[in-house]
Structure 1
Amino acid sequence: MPILGELLSCIGLIINTYFFYELPAEVVALTESVFPAFTGGFYTVFLGIFSYISDITTTHERTYRIGIVILCSSIGHPLGIILSGIMLKWIGYYGVFLISAGLYLFSLIYGLFFLRDPEFKSRTAVSISNKSCGNFFKEIFDVNLVKETFTVLFKNGSKNRRLRVCLLLVSVFLVYGPIQGENTMMYLFFRYRFNWAELEFSCWSSYRMITHLIGTTFSISILSKNLRLDDSLLTITSSLSKIIASVDYAFAETNFGIWLAPLLEILTGTAMIAIRAIASKTVDGEEIGKMSSLFGVAEAMTPMIYGPLYSAFYIATFKVLPGAMFLLGATLTLPAICIHWWLYFEHTKDRKLEETDTNNDNLCHM
């Protein structure tokens, strides 16, 4: 559905380009936003992707596979921004929108005809395919499905399941929120503190993005896949990297200190990968989609909360200490470290219990 919405949006933009001088700018804005809004947009796309990856992978491979997805999206977004200006100059609006529409159409065809649901979902897929069109749309707008999604938070289970799920959702706000808030005010900070123009900030942002990609690749390929480091430890390492870099941002007085900071926060991008992986391993298989929905809601809410918070905080403190907002981010990240230390000890207990059960079963079969 969201890919179809993006495809319709591209078609609408092509029509708007044809009637460029006849239609007002408001029509272009509505065409670009209405279809993705009604079909879910990219939050829903990633919800489906993460749920599917969680369904078809083992618990040992899940962190690595989720990391690959986030890594690809991290590369794709800036690459699209870089290429968009070049392509607009070469092939114009029609070319850009036609290529985008073609890519969406390819994704739609691939998803419909080549991706297969996991075996345990095949019955559900058959039952859905037998429903009428009216019942299909009725199910989409069913309020009870929303209620069922939020019941995942409060569902009791073994191994402190409810507490774990709630703390994981809290850690999303604590880890993702400061990053969103700082990015909102980052350019103003550099402009005021170091008198940077757009060119310097653009070069620094590209350098920062490259270091994050290198750090994320190292974390998911070496720490997670090869060394099999616990997901909670990955989150703790990422959060510590963020806190150390925040101190550097706050008190840096020269360009060297600012160019050093991205190296200090090189592992920051790993946290959300690890948190998603922990969540998918905490709930049952049929609840992974609902858990991903809750994560999507939390990620969508963080800019609404942290954007105004950081704006107000920066305005109140920039004359005293321009980098004070980074100290705020470090302080807000500290509780996330405590949460994941507790989760790490819980995971250690789980592994010991599994080993004990396995040994007992082997003794019984001897």
Structure 2
Amino acid sequence: MSLNMKGDTINVDKHSQKIKENGKTFEEEKESLLKSFLKNITVEPMLFPYLIASILVILVNQNLNIQKACRVNLKLSHDVCEELVNKEKNSIFLTDSEIIVQKLVANMLIWQTILQSSLPAVLVLFLGSWSDRNRLRRPCMLLPIYGEVARNIGLLVCVYFFDELPMEVSGLWQSLTIAVTGYWTVIFMAVFSYIGDVSTDKNKTIRVGLVNATMALSLPIGTGLSGILFRTVGFVGVYCIAIVLCLFSIWMAHVCIHDTMQVRTESEKTRHLSCWSKAKFFFDLKHIVDAFKVTFKKAKNNRRTKVIVLTILITGIMGPLQGDKGVVYLFTRVKFNWNELQFSVFSTTAMCVNLLGTFFVLGVVIRKFGIDDALIGAVATTGKFLSQFVFAFATTETVFYSGVFVNFLQGPAIISMKSIINKIIPAAELGQVGAVTSLGENVVPILCGPLYSYVYESTVSYFPGAYYLVTAAITIPTIFLYIWLYTQHRKETRNSEKPAMDCEGRDESALKDSESVTNYGSIKS
């Protein structure tokens, strides 16, 4: 009896000791998570202020276009144009004026979207190839920031000569300056390539997640501040703030980002060439051909097929986002009589909900339960499909807001495909592969932007939410593509587990190959 009690006492002591150890481990884990977070910060101090600056001016630019169309192009009365900004009345006269102005703005959005999407799509192919050959990422990050500075300086001129310069001049400057410098397409190609250069297999996932979290965080902040700042400091104030943020971003790029893996072979070859010869070498079509060969080369675990599927996914997810971005503000003005401040509140709410969905997936669904990336993408795109019907047929603001919660996994849908790409492509090829796969992201807005603008212009008088049904139709194939990726992953996981069950004691290299297979295939070619 005493022996049993003694044994029970020993077990209790061991259990108590285990609880203490677990408590200590939990505290240490929290501390290590914070240290890991800080240690893995790379491009975020440069990226965050740039994103805030570019998001701040989106809504302000739309208001500038509306005011230019009203006052300069259509020469409507000062009172009517002021009411378009203030949105304090809801008269039939005002609504008719709003529709006339919006049709003019929607027509300009068509060629703006084509310009902003086509030039970066071509430029990123050459820059991605150059970046991989030289392993230089920082210049590609800085180029779009300089373009943003030039855009805001030019728009200050358009505001100063408000009544002299028509809407088309400001619209051209809004698009051309960022198009020739690559905009988000080039900077994100460079950012993800740089992460591939400086990251190990262990911390690559968390660094990709931090970049996506930075983007998710900047969207609600930039959108929320844009309406408030516009009401407070006007066009000039917002554009000046954006310039200051970009200059700070340039400084942080020189402080935080260093191309330690630079290859000087090409610089030695072109050192004695003239500027014209260097330009010809840079824009050599051979680099584009090589980029496509690298992207779609055959490798084990169906790499080529997966890259094609992921390219289509990028097209199907990012295209509607770009198309919707151009007309959603116009839609809410007509449907709910919102001004830019009310729209900022809605946009901020939507971004915060998406941000919470992103952190929930990264912190709980993936980290705690290890749910597959592709399965998360399938669920997220299904929610997006359903939310489009809520948005399209919403008759009240409450119903319209509820669509945001149905679509709360929009962020994880994007993260899933970016994560899969980074897991199957080696770091030395990320620039070229990222450039080629981003073609879908840039070419489709050339179609989606004009398509959404045309649909909205054609239906604004009787069904302004019709363009949401276009998004729903485009989303359907993305659901099935994510399901295919998930089934492929399950097959590869089962195949990798069979040798482990049949054989005892595999060597370490075989074990590493097994781990890479479960991460959507080995990156080795």
TM-score, normalized by the shorter chain, greater than 0.5:
yes
Q: Render the CA deviation track for 1:128-181: whole Å, top value 9, x for unaligned.
A: 565554487565323211111122453222222222211111111111222222
Counterpart contact for 1:88–1:96, Cα < 8 Å: no
Q: Render the CA deviation track for 1:249-276: whole Å, top value 9, x for unaligned.
A: 1222222211211111111121121111
Q: What is the CA RMSD across the aligned residues, in angstroms?
A: 4.0
Matched, 1:154 2:296: yes
Matched, 1:127 2:265: yes
Partner of 1:299: 441
- For structure 2, the residue ranges without an aligned partner over 5 or more in a row are 1-138, 509-525
Give the number of the structure whose alpha-carbon radius of gyration is greater: 2
CA change 1:14–1:163 in 2 (3 A) is: closer
Q: Which amino acid aligns with 1:275?
A: M
Distance in 2 separating the partners of 1:115 and 1:349: 40
Give the 3-state SS of the residue equivalent to 2:323 in structure 1: helix
Matched, 1:324 2:466: yes
Distance in 1 separating the partners of 2:340 and 2:238: 25
Partner of 1:43: 185
Q: Render the CA deviation track for 1:42-63: whole Å, top value 9, x for unaligned.
A: 3211101112223444567544
Partner of 1:6: 145
Distance in 1 separating the partners of 2:456 and 2:189: 33
Counterpart contact for 1:128–1:136, Cα < 8 Å: no
Q: Which region of structure 1 is more displaced relative to structure 2, 352-361 or 277-286?
A: 352-361
Matched, 1:110 2:281: no
Counterpart contact for 1:4–1:104, Cα < 8 Å: no
TM-score w.r.t. the length of structure 1 is 0.80
Q: Which amino acid aligns with 1:99?
A: V
Q: Which region of structure 1 is more displaced relative to structure 2, 216-225 or 160-169?
A: 216-225
Distance in 2 separating the partners of 1:12 and 1:251: 37
Give the number of aligned pairs: 359
Q: Which region of structure 1 is more displaced relative to structure 2, 186-195 or 215-224?
A: 186-195
The structural deviation recorded for 1:332 is 1.4
Matched, 1:270 2:408: no
Task: Choose the corresponding residue for 2:311, options 169, 189, 195.
Answer: 169
Distance in 2 separating the partners of 1:278 and 1:207: 28
Matched, 1:286 2:424: no
Taking every aligned residue pair, what percent have the same amino acid on both sides? 28
Distance in 2 separating the partners of 1:348 and 1:256: 41
Give the 3-state SS of the residue equivalent to 2:210 in structure 1: helix
Counterpart contact for 1:5–1:35, Cα < 8 Å: no
Counterpart contact for 1:249–1:258, Cα < 8 Å: yes
Counterpart contact for 2:151–2:178, Cα < 8 Å: no
Q: Render the CA deviation track for 1:327-363: whole Å, top value 9, x for unaligned.
A: 2212211111111111111111222233334566754
Counterpart contact for 1:10–1:100, Cα < 8 Å: no
CA change 1:5–1:136 in 2 (3 A) is: farther
Q: Which amino acid aligns with 1:257?
A: V
Partner of 2:485: 343
CA change 1:186–1:95 in 2 (3 A) is: closer
Q: Which amino acid aligns with 1:353?
A: N
Counterpart contact for 2:147–2:183, Cα < 8 Å: no
Give the 3-state SS of the residue equivalent to 1:269 in structure 2: helix
Give the 3-state SS of the residue equivalent to 1:125 in structure 2: coil
Distance in 2 separating the partners of 1:141 and 1:128: 14
Distance in 1 separating the partners of 2:447 and 2:232: 36
Q: Which region of structure 1 is more displaced relative to structure 2, 309-318 or 269-278?
A: 309-318
Partner of 1:353: 495
Alignment of 1:184-263 (within 5 A): 184-263=326-405
Q: Which amino acid aligns with 2:448?
A: Y
Q: Which amino acid aligns with 2:265?
A: S
The structural deviation recorded for 1:67 is 2.8
Q: Which region of structure 1 is more displaced relative to structure 2, 254-263 or 132-141?
A: 132-141
Counterpart contact for 1:7–1:104, Cα < 8 Å: no
Q: Render the CA deviation track for 1:309-335: whole Å, top value 9, x for unaligned.
A: 122223444556443322221221111
Counterpart contact for 1:208–1:262, Cα < 8 Å: yes
Q: Which amino acid aligns with 2:263?
A: A
Distance in 1 separating the partners of 2:230 and 2:455: 35
Task: Choose the corresponding residue for 2:320, options 178, 194, 203.
Answer: 178
Counterpart contact for 2:144–2:183, Cα < 8 Å: yes
- For structure 1, the residue ranges without an aligned partner over 5 or more in a row are none
Q: Render the CA deviation track for 1:26-76: whole Å, top value 9, x for unaligned.
A: 999999877755553432111011122234445675444323212212333
Q: Which region of structure 1 is more displaced relative to structure 2, 209-218 or 60-69?
A: 60-69
Counterpart contact for 1:64–1:221, Cα < 8 Å: no
Counterpart contact for 2:195–2:204, Cα < 8 Å: yes
Give the 3-state SS of the residue equivalent to 2:370 in structure 1: coil
Q: Render the CA deviation track for 1:277-319: whole Å, top value 9, x for unaligned.
A: 1122233443222121123332222322111112222344455
Distance in 1 separating the partners of 2:403 and 2:279: 49
Distance in 2 separating the partners of 1:11 and 1:315: 31
